[in-house]
Amino acid sequence: MRPRLAAWAFAAPLVAYLLVCYAYPLYTNVNLSVRGYTVRTFVHGGAPFVGFENYAAVLADPTFQKAVVNTVLFTAVSLVFQYTIGFALAVFFARDFPLSATLRALFLVPWLLPLIVSASTWAWLLNSESGLINALLGTKIHWLTSPEWSLVSVTIANIWIGVPFNLVVLYSGLRTIPPEVYEASSLDGASGWQTFRHVTFPMLRPVSAITLLLGLVYTLKVFDLIWIMTRGGPSGSSTTLATWSYELGFGSMLPRFGPSAAVGNVLILVSLVAGLLYIRAQERA
Amino acid sequence: MRRAALALLAAGLAACSSSTPAARDTFAVWDPYPQFAAESDWAKTIDKCGAEAGVKIQRQAFDTTDLTNKVLLAAQQRTAPQVLVVDNPVVSTLAEAGVLRPISEAGLDVSAAAPNLVSAGTLNGQTYGTPIGANTLALYYNKTVLTAAGVDPASIKDWASLDAALAKVKAAGKKGITFSAIGTEEGTFQFLPWFWGSGAALTDLASTQASGALELWKSWLDKGYAPNSVIGNTQTTSWQEFATGDYAFAENGTWQLQNAKKTGFEYGVIAIPGRTGGTAPAPTGGEFVTVPVQDDKATETTAGKIATCLTSPDRVLAADTALTYVSAVPSVQQHQIAAMPELKVWVDAVQNAKGRTGDNLGTRYPRISQPLWGAVQAALTGAKAPADALKEAQAAAAAAK
């Protein structure tokens, strides 16, 4: 009996933490999304149960389709470029050379900067009137204020921010590959590309999987970057599910708690599915 | 995720609320002025008003965009502050939520304040606070640019003369006008003087007057009088464009007066003209002092005394001066002009201004404002023709509950 009790005592803080910080907020969010909250019932209680009405309203909203397409594009393009560039840099830094540690540290800067700083800086750079990027390219592209470019612009900024994370994780993954494997492949006469294709890449697969999964979850919920740069605009052209959820709940003076929570739950669900797929893939491997 | 965080905050607040003492000797005052430190005149005024009512004051300043949800959450947990200073269009939302006491019950008196300012705090015949002062929009101009272009600012009386002035500025190789057409409440706020100045009403976004106003803005972008960046400009970034000295005009608010003096060029201010002349009604900005609902009447009565003290003409002048607000009380407005003659144009603008939630729109206003800024964005980006964009906006506003 004693050791059992002790085991529970040790587990209790974690259980309490999970309940308070995960289960309760999640329950509240689900509850918000299935009730017809107005500002009055939010304060005084008594919001009627409306089932999936909020979800139906959100799904029928023309913004939903746009937000889903934007979220998919933003996430997929961000992940592909972050991962490819991060991988290339990791391989580059895998060979030690003078100042490589300093350079690697410099690459971390985008990741360490507060988002408000990097997003504002990107907004300045991409300003169509006085931005550095238009001046450099000699173009007059309305990066942030035309519906054709706004999503491209926020995606570029997001790639820039995400590369260091991929670099760091993949770099440490590369360090765990034993040098003997490379020695063997070079003795077998493998070319540089063949070594990468048949040694480095396959041996990094588990690390790649977790990098991409974390990247997916991070990117799905990106809100601050887009909000600071474009507010999801112009005309909703860079609205993702995350910014839309915020907009519904906090974007106007009359909050729409139910639909906002419903959109948030859709996002949670997508992340959850990705997580489950990952676990399944891990079990098979 | 954010909702989750809020829920957590709510849980935390709930935990704290259980220890409320029965007889309250410390009153919480929330305001949206984080720029005022504890040693500012504003903070000292609050302390004095608390002392007069025989209580201690605990002041907390929030970012204005955060305040609505903070108050709603606090009210849900029954930890609302005793006195709340809040942006005027939010008053009707909070009143609708049952968070605020009407002034008749809280013991406030608004009879000294200008009726056009009080209207923003009125819902279904009840008023829910006292305006602390008001700001509004007008056109700043750069004297150097206008002189070089041969434009006399006094000649700008209506849209046609403004258009002619912009054409001259462009011909002289300078930039015309900057404003904020961002897809948030700020965008609607900036569009309203043109919207109302055309004769349009918020109850009918699809009117020909309304499309006239949107066509005016669109034509400025098409002709190159206004930069494309206005689509993403906040009022602050729009001001930064004007501060470069390249622009002839900027639509901006009373709060930029202090910054205007730092630009290094000579500036002036004219009222925003109506379509066919006169001063266009601009929307009022500025906060209301309100008394949130409490569990006991005695607390509300004391809170009412503090609120009355904060908005009394002699006390409020210091706050209005610090905020560069025009007083809500007409007699005090005259004192302000006497002390600072350049405020005259702003006092005129405030006297012509309208509350966004006025005309008994109340909580319908946010449901109208959102489609309206959407239409402005759709038209300015060229995604839709102004009339079509406004027609859709009207349909959306009418369908919104």
What's the average model confidence in pLDDT over B184-201? Answer: 95
CA A7 to chain centre: 36
Q: What percent of chain B has pLDDT over 90?
A: 75
Enumerate the β-bridge partners of residue A139.
none
A52 phi and psi angles, rounded to 5 deg: -95, 20
Quick one: pLDDT at residue A146? 92
Q: Which residue of B has its CA nearest to A42?
A: B76
Nearest to A29 among B7, B227, B380 (CB): B7
pLDDT, position A59: 93
Q: Are B132 and B320 contacting, i.e. CB atoms less than 8 angstroms apart?
A: yes
Q: Which residue of A has its CA nearest to B227?
A: A129
**pLDDT for the residue numbered A1:** 61
Contacts 24+ apart (CB under 8 A), B294-303: B294/B80, B294/B82, B295/B78, B299/B24, B299/B27, B299/B82, B300/B82, B300/B101, B300/B105, B300/B106, B301/B106, B301/B107, B302/B24, B302/B27, B302/B53, B302/B54, B302/B55, B302/B82, B303/B27, B303/B82, B303/B83, B303/B106
Q: Which residue of B has its CA nearest to A258?
A: B3
Average pLDDT over residues B15-28: 61
Model pLDDT, residue A285: 64
Please name the amino acid found at residue B309.
C
Alpha-carbon Rg of chain B, whole angstroms? 22
Minimal CA separation from A56 to chain B, in Å:
15
What is the average per-residue pLDDT within B204-214?
96
User: B140 pairs with which residues across the strands?
Assistant: B250, B269
Residues 6+ apart with CB under 8 A from B375: B205, B214, B384, B386, B389, B390, B392, B393
Split at pLDDT 50, 70, 90, the class of B23 is: low
**Is a pLDDT exceeding 90 seen at residue B2?**
no
pLDDT at B6: 45
Average pLDDT, integer, range B87-95: 92
Using DSSP's 3-state secondary structure scheme, residue A49 falls into: strand
pLDDT value of position A271: 87
pLDDT for B9 beyond 50: no
Minimal-distance CA residue of chain A relative to B238: A129
Tell if the CB–CB gap between B370 and A252 is shorter than 8 Å.
Answer: yes
Low-confidence winner among A170-174, A178-182, A278-282, B3-7 (lowest mean pLDDT): B3-7
Residues of A in contact with B70 (CB under 8 A): none
Q: Tell me the whole-structure pTM to 2 decimals.
A: 0.86
The per-residue pLDDT for range A107-144, each reduced to its tens digit, is 888 888 999 999 999 999 998 888 899 999 998 899 99
Interface test with B, best of A253, A256, A269 (most B CBs within 10 A): A253
Three-class secondary structure assignment of chain B: CHHHHHHHHHHHHHHHHCCCCCCCCEEEEEECCCCCCCCCHHHHHHHHHHHHCCCEEEEEECCHHHHHHHHHHHHHCCCCCCEEEEEHHHHHHHHHCCCECCHHHHCCCCCCCCHHHHHHHEECCEECCEECCEECEEEEEEHHHHHHHCCCHHHCCCHHHHHHHHHHHHHCCCEEEECCCCCCHHHHHHHHHHHHHCCCCCCCCCCHHHHHHHHHHHHHHHCCCCCHHHHCCCHHHHHHHHHCCCEEEEEEEHHHHHHHCCCCCCEEEECCECCCCCECCCECECEEEECECCCCHHHHHHHHHHHHHHHCHHHHHHHHHHHCCECCCHHHHHHHHHHCHHHHHHHHHHHHCECCCCCCCCCHHHHHHHHHHHHHHHHHCCCCCHHHHHHHHHHHHHHCC
The distance of B6 to chain A (nearest Cα, Å) reads: 8
The owner of tokens 């809500």 is B328
The band of B363, judged by pLDDT with boundaries at 50, 70 and 90, is: confident
Query: Has residue B16 got a pLDDT over 50?
Result: no
Interface contact B2-A245, CB threshold 8 A: yes
Q: Contact at 8 Å (CB) between B187 and B180?
A: yes
Condensed to tens digits (0 to 9), the pLDDT of residues B109-118 reads 999 899 999 9
Per-residue pLDDT at B181: 96
Sheet holding B175-178, edge to edge: B175-178, B247-253, B137-142, B267-270
Q: Which residues pair with B29 in a beta bridge?
A: B59, B83
Per-residue pLDDT of B248-260, as tens digits, reads: 999 999 989 888 9
In chain A, residues with a C-beta closer than 8 Å to the C-beta of B369 are 252-253
Q: Is B64 a residue whose pLDDT tops 90?
A: no
pLDDT at residue B19 above 90? no
| pLDDT band at residue B138 using 50, 70 and 90 as cut-offs | very high
**pLDDT at residue B12 is higher than 50:** no
**CATH fold of the domain at B137-283+360-399:** D-Maltodextrin-Binding Protein; domain 2 (3.40.190)
Sorted by where each begins, the domain ranges of chain B are 26-131+287-324, 137-283+360-399
Pick the CATH number of A52-284 from 2.10.60.10, 1.10.3720.10, 3.40.50.2300, 3.30.430.20: 1.10.3720.10
CATH superfamily of B26-131+287-324: Periplasmic binding protein-like II (3.40.190.10)
To the nearest whole Å, the CA of A222 is away from the closest chain B CA by 11
Model confidence pLDDT, tens digit, residues B364-383? 999 999 999 999 999 999 99
Residues of A in contact with B224 (CB under 8 A): none
Instruction: Say yes or no: do domains B26-131+287-324 and B137-283+360-399 share a fold.
Output: yes
User: What are the pLDDT digits (tens) for A224-281?
Assistant: 999 999 999 898 899 999 999 999 988 888 888 999 999 999 999 988 998 898 888 8
Residue B117's pLDDT is: 93
pLDDT at A23 over 50: yes
Q: What per-residue confidence (pLDDT) applies to B5? A: 45
Does B369 contact A at CB distance below 8 Å? yes
Ramachandran assignment for B27, one of left (phi > 0), alpha (psi -120 to 50 degrees), beta (any other): beta
Chain mean pLDDT for chain B: 90
- What are the structure tokens assigned to B55, written together? 């209580």
> From A230, which residue of chain B is nearest by alpha-carbon distance?
B232
Residue that wins the pLDDT comparison between A90 and A251: A90
